[in-house]
Chains A and B, each alone.
Chain A
Amino acid sequence: MLTRVPQIAPSEITPAGVYFNRRTFLAGAVASAASASLPAGEAAPPSESALSYRRNPQYSVSEPPNRLEEIAGYNNFYEFGTDKESPSRYAHTLRTRPWSVTVQGEAEVRGRFDLEDLLKGRALEERVYRFRCVEAWSLVVPWIGFPLSELLARFKPTSSAKYVEFTTLYDPARMPGQHSGVLNWPYVEGLRIDEAMHPLTLMVVGLYGRVLPNQDGAPLRLIVPWKYGFKSIKSIVQIRFSERQPNTAWNVAAPQEYGFYANVNPQVDHPRWSQATERRIGAPFLAARQPTLPFNGYAAQVASLYQGMDLRRYF
C-alpha cells in the first residue's frame, strides 16, 4: 500500500467519515502520548494548545499520516543538536511567547509584528502533506496553518521583491546547538517570490490539531511540500523581501550538495547518496522503501514554476 504513492486527485481523497473516525482515534492517541512523554510538572495545557481549524481535503494526500511521536520525535533541527532525538529532548527550552516577526526589504509594510497580531483572525486549515528529507526519509504530516501568500500580501511586496528570505531565531542560550559551528547561524532559507506565493506553500503553526511542538519549529514555520525538508525553515523571526537570491544556510555550508531550489527530484542524486527512493518512517517492516516522486508528488501543481529550467543545474 505504501509503495503506491498517489498523486492528489479528488477521487482519492479520504471520505469524510473515515477521516473523522481516524481523527477521533488519533486525538485520543495524541492526548495520551502527550501526557506520557512530557516530564512531570510540564503537563500540556490542552485547552490552550488546541487550535480551531478546518480540514482542507483539496490539498491533502490520502496516505496515512505518521504518528505524532514520529513527527515530534525524529527531527532535524540543528539548533538543538544534530541527532534526530536531540530536538525532542532539548527544545523545551525554547520560549515561543512572546514572539515577533520582523519584516524588511522590498515591501511597503515593514516593521516588527507580534505573532498574535499576525495570526489574528486568520482561518487555519489542516493539510496532510508529504514531507521528504534530503536524507532520503519521508513522513506524512497533518499540518495546521495558512497559505504563506495571505501573510505576504499583507506586507505589500514591491515589484523589486523577487525573493523572500526567512531567518530562524538566534538564541544560543535557548538553542544550545548554535554554540557549535555546524552551520552558519542564524539559519536562513529563501524562496523565489512565485514559489512563496504558490497556494501549496504553507505557514504552519500546528500539527495534529494542536500548536506545534517546539522541536517541529514552533511557533511559526514554513512548509514547502515539493522541496527537501531543509527548505521548510523553523521558528521564523524575520521575513525579508529582496531583489537578489538569498544565501541559504545549507547552500552556504555545502554548495555542491545543497542547491537553492532543492526541489525533490529522483533524477538528480545527492553527490553522496541516491535520491531515487526514500524510506517512509514508521512504515511496516520491509515495506518502507518506496520510489521518490518528482516534486515529491506535487508535480501537477508546481512543475510549471520551473518550465524551461535545467533542474540538474538548478538543483
Chain B
Amino acid sequence: MNITQRYRYLYKPLVFVAGVAPLAWMICGALQLFGASLGADPVKKLEHECGKTALNFLLLTLSVTPVRELAGLPQLLRLRRMLGLFAFFYAVVHFTVYLVLDLELNFRLLGADIVKRPYITIGFSALLLLLPLALTSTNGMMRRLGRRWQSLHRLIYLIAALAVWHFYWQVKRDVREPLLYVGMLALLLAYRLLRWRARRARRAAPAAAPAVQLTSRSGSATAPERT
C-alpha cells in the first residue's frame, strides 16, 4: 500500500472507529450493556461526557499541525477534517442532550439560560461558530472559498478558547480538570504564536533564515524591530 492507500483504507477508518467509540460507550451505558453504566443521573453524565468528548476532539484537531511539523508527518493533515467533524458532532449531541433530556425542550428555560448564564452563552456561541466550519469542510467548499477558507477556519482558535472557558465556568469548585484543558490549549496556541513569530523573523531576514527555523526559536539577535 502506498501512503494514500494506507490513509484511506487503514488510518482513516481507525480514526473513525475511535471517534465513534465514545458514542458507542454512552449508548451501552444508557442501555446498561456490557457492564457500562451512566450512574444515578444519566442525563448529566451524557451531557458532560459529550461535552468533554467534543473538547477532546477540538484539541486533537488543533494538535494535528504541531504534531505533523514536529514529528515530520505532513500526511497527518489528511486526518484533520475528520477530527474536526467529530468535535462538531459531539458538540451537537452535547447541546441536544442539554436541550432535550436536561431542559426537556423547555425553550423558555433555554432562552433564559443563553441570555442570563454566561457559561451557556459562551458554549452556545462556540457551537454556532462551529457550524460554518463544518459546513465549509467539504473539498468543494474549500475550492470555492480559496484563501478565504483558511481565514474562516482560523475561527477554530476562538471556538476552542470559548469551549474551554465554558467548561471552566460551569464547574462548581473543583477546577483541576478544566485547568488541564486550559493548559493544553495554551500549549497548542503558544506553538502557533512561536511559529508565527519565527515566520515573521524569516521573512524579515530571508538570507539569514536557517533551513529548520521552527525549532530554533528566533533569538533577540534575529528578531525584527517592531515597526
Interface residues of A (CB under 8 A from B): 69-70, 73-74, 78, 82, 84-85, 135, 137, 180, 182-183, 253-254, 269, 272-274, 276-277, 279, 281-282, 286-289
Contacts and interface: CB of A to CB of B under 8 A. Distances in A.
Given A272-B119, A288-B104, A135 B172 contact: yes
A272 B169 contact: yes
Interface in B137-192: 169-170, 172-174, 176
B120 to A, nearest CB: 8
A272 B176 CA distance: 19
B40 A84 contact: yes
A285 B23 CA distance: 19
Contact of A137 (B41, B101, B109, B174): B41
7 contacts: A180-B174, A272-B169, A273-B113, A273-B117, A277-B106, A288-B43, A289-B104
B173 A289 contact: no
Contacts of B100: 286
A207 to B, nearest CB: 15
A253 B103 CA distance: 29
**Ordered nearest first, which 7 A-B pairs have the shortest CB separation?**
A74-B40, A82-B174, A70-B40, A289-B104, A73-B40, A182-B174, A286-B104
Given A74-B41, A182-B174, 14 more contacts: A74-B40, A84-B40, A135-B172, A137-B41, A180-B174, A254-B173, A272-B170, A273-B113, A274-B112, A274-B113, A286-B101, A286-B105, A287-B104, A289-B106
Interface string B38-62: 0111011000000000000000000
A274 B116 contact: yes
Contacts of A288: 43, 104
B51 to A, nearest CB: 15
B109 A281 contact: no
Main secondary structure of the interface of A (DSSP, over half): loop
B102 interface: yes
Contacts of B13: none
A84 B41 contact: yes
Nearest to A285: B101
B227 to A, nearest CB: 44
A74 B117 contact: no
B118 interface: yes
Interface of B: 39-41, 43-44, 100-106, 109, 112-113, 116-119, 169-170, 172-174, 176
Contacts of A84: 39-41
Nearest to B173: A182
Query: Which one of A73, A85, A272, A276 has the greatest number of beta carbons of chain B within 10 Å?
Result: A272
A272 B40 contact: no
Contacts of B116: 269, 274
Contacts of B40: 69-70, 73-74, 84, 281-282
A279 B39 contact: no
Contact of B39 (A74, A135, A182): A74
Contacts of A277: 106, 109
Contacts of A274: 109, 112-113, 116-117
Contacts of B41: 74, 84, 137, 279, 281
B173 A82 contact: yes
Contacts of B176: 180
B43 A272 contact: no
A272 B174 CA distance: 15
B86 to A, nearest CB: 25
Contacts of B119: 272
A73 B169 contact: no
Contacts of B43: 279, 288
Given A73-B40, A74-B40, A253-B173, A279 B102 contact: yes
A289 B103 contact: yes
A277 B113 CA distance: 12
Nearest to A289: B104
Nearest to B112: A274
Nearest to A3: B104
Query: Which one of A183, A269, A273 has the greatest number of beta carbons of chain B within 10 Å?
Result: A273
A137 B42 CA distance: 12
